[in-house]
Amino acid sequence: MVSDTNRDLKAFERRLTEYISCLQPATGRWRMILIVVSVCTATGAWNWLIDPETQKVSFFTSLWNHPFFTISCITLIGLFFAGIHKRVVAPSIIAARCRTVLAEYNMSCDDTGKLILKPRPHVQ
């Protein structure tokens, strides 16, 4: 009985760590995409703001005059609508949800998926 339980816990831990480690490469790529688009948007915004013509023309004309900022800003907004904010933290979301469920069994897990067994509460 104890060995079956131990075997089940080890299998669960292996599967959880495998799943979280498989998410890491994709998470890293999404983070790089977010960083690149954010830097492009910030650079474009800086150029847009320091341009003296920006204050003299209408808003839409100033955006038309700065296509780099406009395109990078639209791309950034599109990425957020597509859920990039969830994809860059996907392993943390999975680990947090597992911690919530495992708390009922006096267990937890770290961010890599390794199980943490907590001592049983003493009932008197």
Contact 92, 111 (CB under 8 A): yes
- List per-residue pLDDT tens for the chain, 124 residues long: 557 888 988 999 999 999 999 988 999 999 999 999 999 999 999 999 999 998 899 999 999 999 999 999 999 999 999 999 899 999 999 999 999 999 988 899 998 889 988 887 766 6
Q: Rounded CA gap, 95 and 110, in Å?
A: 7
- For 73-89, letters b (16+ CB in 10 Å) and e give beebeebeeeebeebbe
Rounded to 5°, angle at Cα 44 from 42 and 28: 50
> Per the structure block, which two tokens stand in for 50?
């320091």
Domain assignments of the chain as residue spans, ordered by start: 1-117
CB 48 within 8 A of CB 69: yes
